[in-house]
Copies of this chain bind each other. A is one copy, B any other.
Amino acid sequence: MAKDNFKRSKPTALLDDENDSGSIKPDSPDETMRKRRRFLQSGGALIGVAAAGAAQSLAHAATPDATAPQTLAAIPDSMRAPGTPIGTQPYGTPSPFENRVVRNVPANQTQYWSSTSRSPLAELDGIITPSGLFYERHHAGVPAIDPAKHRLMVHGLVERPLVFSVDELRRFPSVSRIHFLECSGNPVYKKPYGKTASDLVGLVSCAEWTGVTLATVLKESGLQSNAKWVVAEGADGAGMTRSIPIEKCLEDALLVYSQNGERLRPEQGYPVRLFLPGFEGNMSVKWLRRLKVTDAPVYSREETAKYTDLLPSGKARQFTFYMEAKSIITSPSGGQQIPDPGFVEIRGIAWSGHGKVAKVEVSVDGGKSWSEAVLQEPVLTRALTRFRFAWQWDGIPTVIQSRATDDTGYVQPSFGDLLDVRGDNSYYHNNAVQPWQIAADGSVSNANV
């Protein structure tokens, strides 16, 4: 008897005619109308309610601050007429009041083919970056690709060279993962330093990616015994090409066709991209058209002329895949202003290409002392992690900063310590602590000048 299906171990008001214990008994109609009148009458008493400064009270002042009384407008215009009918926006967009929240294209970007746009980190909450604000890094602009014509080839040291349409890739078993993506040049080391969180590390974003594991597709093709690397090629004007160790390809690499629920955006590699969780962003080749299995790296332009790290010794380090543990305070951050002394929730993001964020510490005294922030659950592997720290700002100028530790035990270094090791030839993989200067008027600026 299917009724067993309705059993639950907790009380419920639903589906249980036999059991009304969880439902609220309605009043008689008269009682209902009496209460409704009472509510409607109370609506007339709204004008002149005294306001308290919420932040003040959270600051544990003895009494709520009543120095800024406000009135609630009786009935706003929005309640006097119907709003915009449904169906006028088949695909929704942000409020016009938010039209300044866009990707940040650097003013000093002299040309737009090899280019970046940055996520407006100080405007974002949580860990999901909306796809419309996801950072971009292109090596030859954004190609327009017809998904019906696009093909992905797997060849080289395989038993069976294969060519897939997008629909064929979608037929494979699928997985969804929430992961960050970050450009290895985020941020640069040299002056002038960025002023805002977006200027500095806006080349990081996070999304839910869906696709097929690269391991599944490689297994389908059959790897030969000398398969050591996979060379990925994009269908953009740059023919973006990177070599990836076979271990990463078999560990957690994805062939992604969807981001945040819907198909990839053009600027994220539509219709299919490689995605290498935790690796520097350019290796997650967009508009992916070819995977060649090889016994050695191909030494493409993007792993020789670019994306190598020139050390003080004059030796260049190549294939520095992993994005190390990093964090930044996004609120309050450069360009923002704390309105007045009192309660401030310090908010930011942390991440590590090696795994999960284990801990974020915050200093509000220029680095003399550090306290642990609260991490928003769930903390996911190779994903942005939101941290929060409750602070009482006393109105005195200071420097605030955050420091991430990942689950390998690695601790985000200071900028000085990083430069001591790297020297001043470095361009990529700057994961230094970012300090913010708070001035007496509450204005926030980059403490690195």
Contact = CB atoms under 8 A, between A and B. Distances in A.
A150 B64 CA distance: 21
Given A14-B324, A84-B144, 19 more contacts: A5-B413, A9-B408, A12-B410, A13-B322, A14-B429, A15-B421, A39-B298, A54-B217, A82-B140, A83-B142, A91-B132, A94-B263, A95-B264, A123-B263, A125-B257, A125-B258, A130-B260, A167-B339, A174-B388
Interface in A289-329: 289-290, 292, 294, 296-300, 304, 311, 313, 316-322, 324
A81 interface: yes
Contacts of A263: 94-95, 98, 101, 123
A149 B84 CA distance: 19
Contacts of A91: 93-94, 101-103, 132-133
Interface stretch (A44-52, A186-194, A195-203, A438-446): A44-52
27 contacts: A2-B413, A7-B411, A8-B354, A8-B408, A8-B410, A15-B413, A17-B311, A23-B319, A35-B299, A52-B162, A52-B220, A64-B162, A70-B163, A72-B289, A76-B235, A78-B235, A83-B237, A90-B103, A95-B266, A95-B271, A97-B147, A101-B263, A124-B262, A126-B208, A126-B209, A128-B128, A174-B347
Nearest to A289: B76
A101 B90 CA distance: 9
Contacts of A17: 311, 313, 421
A192 B275 CA distance: 43
A124 B261 CA distance: 5
B14 A322 contact: yes
Contacts of A413: 2, 5-6, 15
Contact of A13 (B58, B316, B317, B422): B317
